[in-house]
Amino acid sequence: EYDCMDWTDERPFWPGSGDACPLQTSFSCDEHICKRAEFSCGNGECQSFDTNRLKSFWFTAYSDYCQNLRELNYICEASSHFRLWTIDNGYCLPYEIPYDETVVDNNCSFYVKCALSCGLNLNCPCRNDTVDCITNKIKITCPDDKILYPHGALFTPYYHLIYLREHNWLEKTPDFLLYNGSIKCKGYQISSFDKQYEKKIDSNTRLLTFYLHEKDFCELKSANRSSLAPHYDQHCWNYSKTYNNRPYAISHVCNAQCMSVYRVRDGIYDCIEEHVSDEDRGINGSCLSIKHHRFQCSQSEISCLLAGAVGDSDAHCTNRQDEYATSALKDIKCEKPSDEGCQIHREYISHSPMANMLPMYNNISETAGRKIPFQDYCNSLIDTKSGTNNENGTPTYREWDCSDASDEQKLIAIDKFDEHNVEAGLNLIDMKQKCFEKYKDQPFSTICNISTEFPCIVDHPKDPLNFTINRPCIDLNRIGDHISDCIGSYDERNNLVCEMHGMLGYHFHCSKSVTCIEYLQLCKFLCPDEHAPICFHKERKYKNGTISECNNDNDVMCLNDTCLKNARCNKVLDCPDGEDEYWCNPNVAVDPRFYREQKRRLRSARTTNKLPYYPFNDIIKNKRSNTKLVQQKSDYSKLNMINIKAKQIRYKTAYEMVNNLFPDSVKEETHYVPFICNRGVTVRQKQPDDQLEVTSCFCPPSFYGERCEYFSDHITIITHLDLSNWRVSNNKNVVIKVLALFLFNNTIIDYHDFHVQTISYKKNDFIKQRFYFLYPRTDEFINLKKNYRNGTQLYSVRFEAYELHINLTISIIGVWIYPIYFDFLPAFRLSKVLKLTDISTNDIVCSTNPCGNTGRCQPVINSNTSYVCLCSDGWYGTHCKNFENGNSCLYCNSKAICRPYYYGLNETKQTYCLCPLEHFGSTCHIKYDGCEINDCMNDGTCLSTYELTDNIEQYKCVCTNHFYGPHCQFVREVVQIQFSNITAEPSVLATIIQYCDVDNSFADLIIRQQNVYKNKLSHVIFKHDQQYAPAIGIIKLYFDYTYESQYFLVYSRQQKSTVNITTELSAKNQCQHVKTLFPIEHLNNKSITGMLRDRDTRFPVSTRVRDTRPYPGARASIREPRSRSRSRYIPNFDDELDSLTFWC
């Protein structure tokens, strides 16, 4: 539930967000502001600026292009992955038809479009000829050596594209950028109307990244500069004040731009300079006034991280505390406000400024630590740059699990299994044969000896592609030895880490700059002089200099100077030495950004699906489950799998859907009108006196214009009532009505109301109200906006909360007023929590009775010095001094409250009737009770939802403790636990019982219920509302006022509706701290002591660990590490995986 327009209040905020926006309508999408490093598609989608506009990447499960193709508008023909034609208004169409040429004013531009689109238009010449034909047409027709296409500017008014007349038209990328126009810079305005400036486009040019081009334009030394023309202030307006007379909090970290101090160390890179960063860990943030809403790394490293930057898999803190607390923050579930995971995140962020004083931050290090949760050790997935937590693996999975590939290719060279793999029952001969068959046909296997060598392009030689001198082979024993022998560290893919993507995997490691090039960006962006050798397949010319037929990303130029079409990464060795398949991710269909992500899911699933049964000798009370209940409830693990699959779907574009539905009916462009009405509805109609069809648009209120092309200036409201400190006046079954008023200079423009049922209110389980107000568009207000370009500061939003009692009386309980300072913005977001509190402390503002006898003075809750006069029936005005002389108030129900002029400027009626309970309509004479037909069973309480639409339930049932369901129709099943020996612990101060389910996707426990008891207890009863009882019960005993405690496994049951057991708390089911499981001599091992930093790494002895040795058959001490490598032996506790466990 995004409250901020840039979506940074939720986690994580990945680049390329808003993928679902084209398929839904909401102002969250309409107002979605893309971050600095993103391109806005205009429909809520944001694409990373790393995407090359003309070479956008297209994979089965991962696409980097706007679904409306906005990044291709006006230059559709230059797309590398679509054959498109630019029509009127810059839209793109994929149809091979004769287009009407109304957008091209000369044959030169027409021929350029034909060349780039490969003759998509049936009117194009040379459609069945070679590229030389259309090239000659362009040379003859175009008079200038440099061709401007498209004719207008792109993205910005000063940014144009140029193709050379001698251009290779099989290559879509333009040759030059042209700067022509003016732009505001810091301290001056720069212009180039009298002289044009060109910049050559190369493989590193990011055409979408307009802010970099702004920087380049501003730095042109020979262009005209003027400090008198409009420009950005040289000193960032640090001498000016805000509307409430406070100095602006301006940062000067970035030299070329001004920005708020709240954007420094917030987790988003804002500086556009290459060598300047506002996210440098040596810079402290400054967000004292909002510190409880931002995460602070430590007392010495003061950051201001947004909520979305915490747990986003990108460590912004030196101590990585923004990624790991007692567990990985990214793995803590937070899907709705009431989730415990959300509460953990909120408290973790709000308490971070007091880090040194709270126990939850005791492990924060002021130095560069690498603290990770226990469950991330020994799971075959690297979580630290040192890689010391990745030790065990599973053989023959196609991806390396062992860092030295001894579970895959290197297995062929092993002569003898060690005792661990022998005990696991693995057959070396069979496994070596399987590995050989799998790897005998791979890139360069015709050159290398697969039995002893690993094929890869070797690093450092002067001519790495000369295989006669530099064979593309290294010894198998050099894999995973922490020395990069192959270009891009291909042989160390499981030892190195990319900050954003975890294991290096198939990403490219730039050894000189110690950075990573993402797999999808390979050969798009280059390391300095590093990975050009692996991009041989991108060559577009033969060795003799002539242009080849290889012109698409999937084409390959083999090393023997042969062009093969569509041969790249097709899982077939097409080139003589198989180089067309070199550096191809075999799991690109899953998500090539993350290495071994599928392995993470499979591994966690099989470790959690086989939970042991505990206790063994108990009496289970079997009850027959309600059949209807079984039909309505879904297994949690199945829901997770559905979500995973849904994320892998590539949504079709509008063009694809129409073309699939009507492949033969689309004959010409005029028969299809894509996106012509924006968010409106397209209607075709005939004129009364003419047979000609006309297209009209019906626009929603938030848009206007002939084609709904203009976004109405508006303010959006997101709010909810906080009743945690509210004292109910009469009884708990009270309905609160909130009236939101949009005002200009105390004149009401518009209103909106909503209801809150107090009996069902829960602090973290509320419904956010989302609505918007439109700024008036009368001549008076339009002229006002023109004359006050910096805003009028006369707009405000007022909330009035009323209790609606069952006896039909109405009483005011709270008023809030929020001024709108930025009314010059086309869209503004007001996100507020309306906290109801005791307002008696503010009564002093009403002590002089400013409202007289015709109104009631009501203090404003969010201001200590303000009040509002709420007028009696018929009276209005700031102090209720005006009376409505007409009969308008006579139309209101006698139990209603009449508010003249509350209807606002947008309504014909000017009197608003505030209706009592269960009354509706403009005059409150319509009585409707959603609970009149009460379907609530088993003494459930019926509450009206005040949702009067047909597709929403108009009531809900609040059930007693014994029942649950939409109609309280299901009996709550019981978890009953009897403790046989709890009396033996007389010093117990507190007891906590947690009832948990298991998340198979993350191998995580989800707390369904947590109860706290004072002292000891002998039995507990918990009534749950699920198909099955929580799978695991855990008890914690606290013996003093420290945070030390004892943990016990109470029960383990899967897919059981009821649990009825008698158990004891003893050493048998106590969850021992991991320190107690190791002999003292093993604690000298650095890998093991790293695990012990986490105080809550515990095992229930009887279910997970057979003995206290680090592994079955362990020797008295851990082996010394081999030369050039780290220690190899780490204890493995995955007893459920014995048949699949492989020791590296």
CATH code for the domain in which residue 956 is found: 2.10.25.10
Same domain, 900 and 758: yes
HEC profile of 914-961: ECCCCEECCCCCEECCCCCCCCCCCCCEEEECCCCCCCCCCEEEECCC
Same domain, 951 and 1037: no
| Of residues 52, 202, 171, 173, the one with CA closest to residue 520 | 52
Q: Check residue 151 and give its pLDDT.
A: 85
Q: Check residue 112 and give its pLDDT.
A: 93
Cβ-contact 176, 198 below 8 angstroms: yes
Same domain, 805 and 669: no
Structural domain that includes position 1020: 972-1068
Percent of the chain at pLDDT exceeding 90: 19
- Enter the tokens of residue 100: 């009407």
Q: Is residue 1139 part of a domain?
A: no
Q: Check residue 1124 and give its pLDDT.
A: 29
pLDDT mean over 1134-1142: 37
Task: Name residue 915's amino acid.
Answer: C
Cβ-contact 944, 918 below 8 angstroms: yes
What is the pLDDT confidence band of residue 577, given thresholds at 50, 70 and 90? very high
HEC profile of 184-248: EEECEEEECCCCCEEEECCCCCCCCCHHHHHHHHHCCCCCEEECCCCCECCCCCCCCECCCCCEC
Same domain, 214 and 86: yes
pLDDT mean over 885-893: 79
Please state, rounded to an integer, the average pLDDT across all residues of the chain.
Answer: 76
pLDDT mean over 584-609: 56
Residues 6+ apart with CB under 8 A from 723: 736, 756, 758, 761, 836
Most confident range (mean pLDDT) of 309-313, 449-453, 583-587 is 449-453
Q: Check residue 237 and give its pLDDT.
A: 83
C-alpha 42/C-alpha 970 separation (Å) is 47
Q: Is residue 416 part of a domain?
A: no
Residue 85 has pLDDT above 60, yes or no: yes
Q: For residue range 721-774, what is the model confidence (pLDDT) as tens digits?
A: 988 877 655 456 788 999 999 999 888 899 999 998 887 777 667 888 999 999
More confident residue, 899 or 904: 899
Same domain, 779 and 847: yes
Q: Check residue 660 and give its pLDDT.
A: 55
Most confident range (mean pLDDT) of 394-403, 549-558, 1088-1097, 1108-1117 is 549-558
What does the angle CA 48 – CA 387 – CA 14 come to, to the nearest 5 degrees?
20
Same domain, 697 and 747: no
Q: Check residue 772 and give its pLDDT.
A: 92
Whichever domain contains 1013, its CATH number is 2.60.40
Domain boundary among 668, 684, 710: 710
Instruction: Tell me the three state secondary structure of residue 1089.
Output: helix
What is the pLDDT confidence band of residue 903, given thresholds at 50, 70 and 90? confident
Range of lowest pLDDT (54-68, 388-402, 1106-1120): 1106-1120
pLDDT mean over 636-640: 27
Q: For residue range 326-379, what is the model confidence (pLDDT) as tens digits?
A: 567 777 778 777 777 888 888 889 888 875 555 555 444 433 344 555 555 555
Q: Check residue 155 and give its pLDDT.
A: 77
Same domain, 220 and 350: no
Range of lowest pLDDT (505-509, 643-647, 694-698): 643-647
Q: Check residue 61 and give its pLDDT.
A: 33
Count of structural domains, the chain: 6
pLDDT mean over 942-946: 82
Residue 634 has pLDDT above 70, yes or no: no
Q: Is residue 1073 part of a domain?
A: no
Q: Is residue 177 part of a domain?
A: yes
Residue 194 has pLDDT above 80, yes or no: no
Most confident range (mean pLDDT) of 112-116, 665-669, 1087-1091, 1126-1130 is 112-116
Q: Check residue 171 and give its pLDDT.
A: 84
* Secondary-structure breakdown of the chain: helix, strand, coil percentages, each rounded to the nearest 5: 20, 25, 60
What is the number of residues in the chain? 1144
Q: Is residue 400 part of a domain?
A: no
C-alpha 940/C-alpha 1058 separation (Å) is 23
Provide the 8-state DSSP code for 760. Answer: G
Domain boundary among 1041, 1068, 1095: 1068
Same domain, 881 and 937: no
Q: For residue range 969-989, what is the model confidence (pLDDT) as tens digits?
A: 888 899 999 988 765 556 788
Beta bridge pairs of residue 1004? 999
Instruction: Tell me the three state secondary structure of residue 67.
Output: coil
Percent of the chain at pLDDT exceeding 70: 73
Cβ-contact 419, 1143 below 8 angstroms: no
More confident residue, 215 or 1109: 215
Q: Check residue 227 and give its pLDDT.
A: 92
Q: Is residue 398 part of a domain?
A: no
C-alpha 979/C-alpha 965 separation (Å) is 31
Residue 1055 has pLDDT above 90, yes or no: no
Domain boundary among 344, 371, 398: 371
Q: Check residue 797 and give its pLDDT.
A: 96
Q: The tokens 């509190």 sit on which residue?
A: 837
Same domain, 871 and 893: yes
Q: Check residue 384 and give its pLDDT.
A: 55
Same domain, 705 and 722: no
pLDDT mean over 1037-1065: 84
Q: Check residue 952 and give its pLDDT.
A: 55
Same domain, 797 and 888: yes
More confident residue, 607 or 893: 893
Same domain, 666 and 796: no
Q: For residue range 764-817, what is the model confidence (pLDDT) as tens digits?
A: 678 889 999 999 988 888 888 888 877 888 999 999 999 998 889 999 999 999
Total-model pTM: 0.72
pLDDT mean over 891-897: 90
Residue 594 has pLDDT above 70, yes or no: no
Provide the 8-state DSSP code for 178. Answer: E
Residue 476 has pLDDT above 90, yes or no: yes
Q: Is residue 591 part of a domain?
A: no
Residue 390 has pLDDT above 90, yes or no: no
Q: Check residue 908 and give its pLDDT.
A: 61
| Of residues 635, 649, 813, the one with CA closest to residue 738 | 813
Q: Is residue 854 part of a domain?
A: yes
The H-or-E segment that residue 720 falls in is strand 714-722
What is the pLDDT confidence band of residue 116, given thresholds at 50, 70 and 90? very high
Quick count: other Cβ atoms within 10 Å of Cβ 996?
Answer: 18
